[in-house]
Amino acid sequence: RSRNSLTLFHEVAKRVPAYREFLKEHGIQAKNIHTREDFEKIPITNKAGYLKKYPLADLCWDGSLARPAVFSSTSGSTGKPFYFQRLPNLEEEYSILAELFLGNGEHVPGPKNPTLVIIGFGMGVWVGGTLTYRAFDIASRRAYPVSILPAGVNKTEILKALHDLAPSFKQTIIIGYPPFVKDIIDEAEFEGINIKALNIRFLFAAEAFSEHFRDYLAKKVGIKNVYRDTLNIYGTADIGAMAFETPTAILIRRLAMKNKKIFARVFGDTNKTPTLAQYNPTFVSFEAPKGEILLTGYSAVPLVRYAVGDRGGVHTFDELKTIFEESGINLEKEAKKHEVPLYELPFVYVYERSDLA
């Protein structure tokens, strides 16, 4: 992780005008940053002290906006929205997550299992809708063929699709903001749609939810394996779908929720329900000094030790495995019991925004 972060740091210091100026203002010489310990002393960047301080072009590679890219905007929940230019790598990275999710279900998309993907995120300037569409489109062409309905935040259209279109498919994947998805399922039942016959799976983003919420929806639609058939993304307009629930992460969170000592060791002293996600350190890396989530990752606006505005922490897979072992719980046995694949990726957990307006 430190090697990838260090490599990106040196590239950004060389090619991004705003970051060169940022380091100069803080008295940092890039040539002196060699180790992980050096890297962790680099000043933190954020929206106020970095992104909004410099011209947009200067925040991009080589100080230029002249590249094939897509713009997305932050939601404005922490103040004035900010526009991010997105490179295709974020779509490719998200497509790997989409491919994992598609391949984990009981009915793997293919000739015998036609699959409908209904995207219920906003399809405008926000990152969720368009990025999710591109990711599933790429995954569909590369590995698992699916049909995509980019319905957007349109409850009437989604209900109509569940009634008229979904019965023609072996399974339907509903993607959206958790409370919005709950509304759809509740209203579908009220409208007399036989939702249990549709083999529904869920992909969520933008908000944490409890295991009770997961179980509620799973029971409503008849999901047999919540570890494989539900997934919550930890994403942001800043750098896309940066971390995500895996069957492993869901298993660990559900086990931790049943044991106060384990919960405290995994998530710290909090009465909130954190989202626990895993991430690919080849794409993005996380730190959490003093509980502040920092990320380092590549895009049109590359980010180095960037405070995304969330509180939480990080763990390696081995750290969590050891915590459970010391409490007498064998993760491999639990995974086998619940038919859960173990992904040995690092973890990030998030339990609240630090700057919500």
- pLDDT interval class at 357 (50, 70, 90): very low
The pTM assigned to this predicted structure is 0.94
The answer to whether the CB of 254 falls within 8 A of the CB of 268 is no
- Between CA 296 and CA 285 the distance in angstroms is 5
Q: What are phi and psi of 295, to 5 degrees?
A: -125, 155
H or E, element range at 133: helix 127-142
The answer to whether the CB of 296 falls within 8 A of the CB of 9 is yes
Could you read off the pLDDT of 122-165 as tens digits, one per residue? 998 888 999 999 999 999 999 999 999 999 999 999 999 999 99
Q: How many C-beta neighbours within 10 Å does residue 202 have?
A: 23
- pLDDT interval class at 353 (50, 70, 90): low
Strands (E), 237-274: 240-244
Neighbouring C-alpha atoms within 13 Å toward the C-beta of 188: 27
Sheet of strand 147-149, all strands in order from the earlier edge strand to the far edge:
147-149, 115-119, 171-176, 200-205, 230-236, 240-244, 275-278, 347-353, 303-315, 292-297, 284-287
